[in-house]
């Protein structure tokens, strides 16, 4: 990583630990490519020193990439100290303004080694356990000040705009399910149901997983037994307030609950 990015990596790690935000860096010290953004993210993770228990991906649907101006998916690490099981209670301070999204995630039962040849769905599917879950998504940048707007590369550098992840117990016999047909009923404090993405804003979670595995493989990153990969938002991202409760029912598969205290 170029030395000019060290301060940004240090600042992002401090903001992660303290639940604070930083000003977007000037363009001359901001990542200008995916390679630079990944290098900053890697350094941020190294500074934090937390075990990586998996990976998240945002903007995995082409329609979302076009709408938000991204040049591809936005991956980030799932770190052990921000990984929770339902029902979860999280401190309000570090996550004020973050958004909650329903997602499908998959846990690997065996190692997937980085290699030159891309992995196929047929190779990966037998290794997977399904985990419905919630992502708490947000970044460590101040966005209401003067200056430039955040880019795809800024978000990748900031650990893919990952805040935390809450998972339900695993479902091993899921392969016969049509995931697109699983009804999702998500509500905050029992209010109106949250919009579920369909049509061009929905993409097969397995397609996203295969793409993510191969992207990691090209970067020389192995997946270990027990690692989790999330596959992007299934519902409209929603901001919660302190004291509210988010409950998501994934048909008969699982119920996932999150509250901020």
pLDDT tens per residue, range 16-39: 999 999 999 998 999 999 999 999
Domain range for 40 = 3-260
Distance CA 213, CA 195 (A): 28
Q: What CATH number should be reported for the domain holding residue 179?
A: 3.90.850.10
Buried b (16+ CB within 10 A) or exposed e, 132-171: bbbbbbbbbbeeeeeeeebbbbbbbbbbbbbbbbbbbebe
Number of domains in the chain: 1
pLDDT tens track for 137-158? 999 999 766 668 899 999 999 9
Q: pTM of the prediction?
A: 0.95
Count of C-beta atoms within a 10 Å radius of residue 52: 15
pLDDT tens track for 152-177? 999 999 999 999 999 999 999 999 99
> By the 8 A CB rule, do 233 and 202 touch?
no
């Amino acid at each position: 990583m170029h030395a000019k990015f060290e301060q940004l990596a240090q600042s992002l790690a401090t903001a992660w630990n303290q639940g604070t935000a930083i000003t977007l860096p000037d363009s001359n010290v901001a990542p200008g490519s995916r390679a630079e953004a990944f290098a900053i993210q890697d350094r941020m993770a190294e500074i934090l020193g937390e075990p990586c228990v998996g990976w998240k991906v945002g903007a995995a649907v082409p329609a979302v990439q076009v709408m938000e101006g991204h040049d591809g998916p936005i991956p980030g690490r799932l770190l052990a100290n921000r990984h929770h099981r339902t029902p979860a209670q999280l401190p309000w301070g570090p996550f004020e303004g973050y958004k909650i999204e329903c997602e499908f995630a998959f846990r690997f039962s065996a190692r997937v080694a980085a290699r030159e040849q891309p992995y196929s769905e047929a190779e990966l599917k037998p290794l997977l356990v399904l985990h419905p879950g919630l992502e708490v998504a947000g970044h460590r940048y101040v966005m209401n000040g003067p200056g430039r707007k955040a880019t795809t590369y800024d978000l990748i550098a900031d650990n893919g705009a990952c805040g935390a992840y809450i998972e339900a117990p695993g479902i091993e016999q899921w392969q016969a399910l049509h995931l697109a047909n699983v009804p999702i009923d998500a509500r905050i404090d029992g209010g109106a149901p949250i919009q579920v993405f369909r049509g061009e804003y929905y993409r097969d979670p397995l397609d996203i997983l295969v793409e993510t595995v191969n992207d990691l493989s090209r970067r020389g990153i192995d997946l270990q037994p027990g690692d989790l990969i999330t596959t992007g938002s299934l519902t409209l991202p929603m901001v919660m307030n302190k004291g509210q409760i988010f409950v998501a029912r994934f048909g008969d598969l699982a119920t996932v609950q999150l509250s901020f205290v």
